[in-house]
Structure 1
């Protein structure tokens, strides 16, 4: 079984044949909401709205540990993250779909490991490639089959939020080598790795990052909503093609 974690703009899947919804209690508190279990293209999946089904959890308040633990608990072995991002360079234009390959973590204060109890041994994970290469490739192939162009590769800068960044901060991220900026890939990707879950992401570029684009003086939230509304239909198309794949 694989899971889809939906971010801003993807709180439901209208191509999902719902079987049932399941409330999962975890040792780490409550997930963002009940898991929606069902099928796409005949394949069993679990869906979870990262910010809650009413979009009420800000990025820094999401219980990432509970979310990942709950998904593993119901039998998930692969996780596809869907998240909106800002594009830093011109080629990462609003409306683009991006399959990132690397992460730079700028968050702070988020609980980022399952191994923190007094009785737990110090545990290190190999995080050289934060997105599982084989799963990334399958996602790219699904996009090709669906006829949806995607950008193969991007360095995702994960910032704290919930505010958007200043233009100077985006300049810094670009100097650091980042291509897109979002708020939710960490610690989500690292926690998936600790649980042994394959993890990949499809990012929707909702806007140019601060100080970029035609109007460098401000970001239009109205335009972001319009872009997400239009582009998420393409994401659903890719996810349906992914579910139809047979390894």
Structure 2
């Protein structure tokens, strides 16, 4: 592979993602999600994806679009959020869901990307996270069909810890504010959430960027994720409707309540 990692379109960027692939997807709520890449993946026939992401978007945006189309077979995430379809599919047995403490999920992605197969954490000790029995999949009769297994434990300095495994996925889809042709990425504000971690976890990482610059234009101290973790870069234009930045829940105050 040459140093120039740019591809011509989002369609080209996801064209080889096969049926049943595992995907790490950046973003938190609707902040920093790779919406253009998700929209391109929606246009393909492939499905059965095993997705690792903090949440699953909302019913009509982000990963929620893939979910509604029946393209996701399994989610590893921290919470259901505002997605009613996510809850419906999970409770009806259509979707397998592994809920993971948010900090643990972040570290599992980072560890996988760093080549660390596992680590010990106190999060979840004494709960079903460690003891097992969390419903991963329900049956049509509403009973638990697949439950989480118990985790290995170990005591360090008198305190019990759980063994958690690092996560590696076939592909990662992320969004950055700025990227260069070598794959070095800069994230804007709170979009620097799960994006760097998801990018590290993917064996093939695809980044959609709002601004594409030439190599050398980014100060090394500005780079949040080095290009060694990125295999493809595609620019999405600001007026591209699939790249719209949406607010998950817009909350405002009236003038009577003290708003501006």
Shared topology, TM-score over 0.5?
no
TM-score bucket (shorter structure)? under 0.3
Q: TM-score, normalised by structure 2?
A: 0.27
Bigger radius of gyration among the two: 2
Q: TM-score, normalised by structure 1?
A: 0.27
